[in-house]
Amino acid sequence: MDAVKNKTKIGAPPACRVLAAAIFVACALLLPAAISGGADDAVPISGFAPARVAAQRELEQKLRAIPDAAHAESNLRHLTSEPHMAGTEASHRVALWLRDQYRSFGFDAEIVSYSVWLPQPREITVELTKPVSRKLASPEEPVEVDKDTSDKRITPAFSIYSPSGEVTAPVVYVNYGMQEDYRTLGSSGVHVEGKIVLARYGKGYRGIKARLAQEHKAAALILFSDPKDDGSGAGQTYPNGPWRPMSGIQRGSIVYTQLYPGDPLTPGVAATASAKRLAPAVAASLPQIPTIPINARDASVILENLAGEAVPTDWQGGLPFPYHFGPGGAEVHMKLEMDYQQRPIYDVIAKLHGTLDDEWVVMGNHHDAWVFGAADPGSGTATMLETGRALGELARSGWKPRRTIVICHWDGEEPGIIGSTEWVEANRTELQNKAIVYINTDVGVNGPDFGASATPSLKELVRDATREVTDPRSGRSVYDAWREHAATFTGEISGTARQMPTAQGSGEPPISALGSGSDYSAFFDHAGIPSMDLGFTGEYGVYHSVYDDFYWMKHFGDPKFSYHPTLARILGTIALRLDEADILPFDFPAYALEIEHITTDRIRRAVRDEDEQALEPALDAAAKLSISASQASEALRAASSAPIETAKASQINHAIAAVEQAFLAPDGLIGRPWFQHVLYAPGSYTGYSSIEEPGVTEALGRNDSATLRHEAESLAAAFVRASARLDEVTRLAQPASVSHPSAAR
């Protein structure tokens, strides 16, 4: 943002902002007890009347005693028994098995199928033609101790949604292939038009790399995993360690999910057999230049022969020779032939019906994998199965869920978050009326370090649940181990590139904002369902490769299968608290605080002089939102301190769950209307990581005053809607004889 200055000019905030800040500080002092049991209970639980806390704790303890390592290991062994890519019969077999497992647990389970536009590779040719001739795109090498790596059913590595094409051209190395890399190339006088660009994985979603290569008029894109990033530069490589060997290839989708996820031909509507479909040529999410991933060994053949100027120090990877920009020295011939067809995908939807069948706790994980998928997604699938088994055992022992619990296993996540998106698009109205939360896990376990992303109102609930579960390695709570690790951890949740923030000095382990790259996206970004994403992470270098299999998990990811049941206990505890709560334990003051921080402390200081006035309504509305959040919190705390009539509690809880939907802009973000959440969305040029207040933030980055004004108006309107819904929560939660505090204003 070269032209955007740090601002102090807006000066003293209006009186309403001062009042909001004062009320918010007072409310923050009460947060530990907000929406909790009364002071007469030694250990209250948020959202539960004191008289119900003991029974809830007993129920949770019963659940946490059920998940075990043997079941989790058996689940994963079955799930990784064959490659099961989306759109194949093997993926269908996994779905059938999952359906039957949930039926055996006592769930009402079914398969929901959609017809989506999916390719399979027919021909992949990559070869160096100058200065010598050499065939590239070699397959991953089998490992003697790991028989699965020799499986003849493995599909050759490819970039799903690459178009077919044939290109012969000089190569230019573009580092990570992100925006700043193309700026460096331009300042060095290197142009990529008509060239094949070679980019290493990292720093952003591969679909962004494809889009940028296309925008810079490259003829084709080759992707590779540099050993500096997730191979020998990080540690011992497979099979001696957890990191990517030289022959390892990261498969992956390059569809433009930053525009919209799901089936490329049916944006915004479910991909049923009768759905009206776009022509592929006009589907905005489909890339237009041939793209293929190769391994580091093949990439070294290209890089070692590149001529041109030497690259900057931070562009140098882990191969044992100096890297050069090109072009010159190396020419490559690529031929890709893709078989595009309408192919079926299979979602598994399992319901454990509760007394209140119009309130749903929804949980999910995808079941399709690039190959065997032990970590991604098998660890999450095996864990979710254990959660479902535990809930089923509680039900068989006489417990009846208060709310309906819906556990979903999505197909087609790897190609572009398809299965979950299509289901949400098909059921959006019902979900907005019934779903109180969506709980996601994807790469459930690939190490011992807990991490989470969540909507701000649910962050404390996640922390509370981890306080109840023991960390297998340390013997302390997961919360304590997480807090200690978070003080220094600045890496990624392996595979999905979800950035974890550093600790902010509060002493609490950090929970990041929801971006994209997994199945919560349609729930949160499109339908406004409060969401979270949980998992245990570690040293994981075999992402989307043949080596992400049972042997890798057994030797490196979770050798004793102790973290799989640990995650099941956390997921189950969260599910039970949301299922059984008298008043849903949503922390709205925490949400308002994040909004105030983003809008006032960051956006306000970044806006240019001529655009200051455009932001004023949003600043005022954010201040009012803080007042409404504080009042709602106080009213909910009082309401949950004693037994509450079921009908009234249901009214309050529906109002609580609907607050998130207030942050949806009816017309969506400018340029990508599928994304409707005005507070969080994946960045247009990051793809995975979240952008806060994305419409305003990205307009600021482009110095686009017209878009900034529009997005600031949309933001202010969302804050006003959210305040009104919180005021309704306050009204509903108060005794009938108490007037609403805002009525006098």
pLDDT digits (tens, 9 = 90+) for 656-676: 999 999 999 999 999 999 999
Compute the half-sphere exposure of residue 503: CA atoms within 13 Å on the CB side of its CA: 13
Nearest one of 677, 515, 500, 652 to 595, comparing CA atoms: 677
Share of the chain above pLDDT 70, in %: 90
Give how far Cα 566 sits from Cα of 202, 383, 465, 665, Å.
29, 9, 11, 38
CATH number for the segment(s) 118-342: 3.50.30.30
Whether residue 383 is predicted with pLDDT greater than 90 in this model: the reply is yes
CA distance linking residue 53 with residue 47, whole number of Å: 10
Query: Sign (positive/negative) of CA torsion 470, 474, 477, 479?
Result: negative
CA distance linking residue 677 with residue 529, whole number of Å: 10
Whether residue 34 is predicted with pLDDT greater than 60 in this model: the reply is no
pLDDT digits (tens, 9 = 90+) for 40-87: 346 899 999 999 999 999 999 999 999 999 999 999 999 999 999 999
CA distance linking residue 471 with residue 468, whole number of Å: 10
For residues 23-40, give the mean pLDDT: 36
Whether residue 491 is predicted with pLDDT greater than 70 in this model: the reply is no
pLDDT digits (tens, 9 = 90+) for 591-634: 999 999 999 888 888 888 777 888 999 999 999 999 999 999 99
Cβ-proximal residues to 43 (8 Å cutoff; 6+ apart), any chain: 53, 57
Nearest one of 629, 592, 540 to 238, comparing CA atoms: 540
pLDDT digits (tens, 9 = 90+) for 109-146: 999 999 999 999 999 999 999 999 999 999 999 999 99
The answer to whether residues 404 and 361 touch, using CB atoms and an 8 Å cutoff, is: yes
Crossing angle (nearest 10°) for helices 563-580 and 50-64: 150
**Global pTM?**
0.92
SS3 696: helix
pLDDT given for residue 688 in this prediction: 85
DSSP state of 277: -
pLDDT given for residue 27 in this prediction: 41
The answer to whether residues 127 and 332 touch, using CB atoms and an 8 Å cutoff, is: yes
Q: Which CATH number fits domain 59-116+346-502+511-580: 3.30.2130.10, 3.40.630.10, 1.10.3720.10, 3.40.50.720?
A: 3.40.630.10
Q: Which of 73, 331, 359, 413 is catalytic?
A: 413
Ordered by start, the domain boundaries in the chain are: 15-55+584-744, 59-116+346-502+511-580, 118-342
pLDDT digits (tens, 9 = 90+) for 192-210: 999 999 999 999 999 999 9
CA distance linking residue 210 with residue 287, whole number of Å: 7
Segment holding 681, helix H or strand E: strand 680-682
281: number of Cβ within 10 Å: 7
Domains 15-55+584-744 and 118-342 share a fold: no
pLDDT digits (tens, 9 = 90+) for 389-401: 999 999 999 999 9
Phi and psi (nearest 5°) for 325? -65, -40
**Is 645 tagged catalytic?**
no
pLDDT given for residue 605 in this prediction: 81
Helix residue ranges, H only, 536-678: 550-552, 563-580, 588-596, 604-606, 612-639, 646-658
pLDDT digits (tens, 9 = 90+) for 411-423: 999 999 999 999 9
Crossing angle (nearest 10°) for helices 478-486 and 459-467: 120
CA distance linking residue 641 with residue 50, whole number of Å: 7
pLDDT digits (tens, 9 = 90+) for 137-191: 999 999 999 999 999 999 999 999 999 999 999 999 999 999 999 999 999 999 9
pLDDT given for residue 31 in this prediction: 37
pLDDT digits (tens, 9 = 90+) for 260-317: 999 999 999 999 999 999 999 999 999 999 999 999 999 999 999 999 999 999 999 9
Whether residue 511 is predicted with pLDDT greater than 60 in this model: the reply is yes
Q: What is the dihedral angle through the alpha carbons of 422, 423, 429, 431, rounded to the nearest 10 degrees?
A: -140
pLDDT digits (tens, 9 = 90+) for 639-652: 888 888 999 999 99
Mean pLDDT of the chain: 91
pLDDT given for residue 506 in this prediction: 66
| Residues listed for the chain | 745
DSSP bridge partners of 407: 350, 363
Helix residue ranges, H only, 286-378: 296-305
The answer to whether residues 480 and 471 touch, using CB atoms and an 8 Å cutoff, is: yes
The CATH architecture annotation of domain 15-55+584-744 reads Up-down Bundle (1.20)
Share of the chain above pLDDT 90, in %: 86
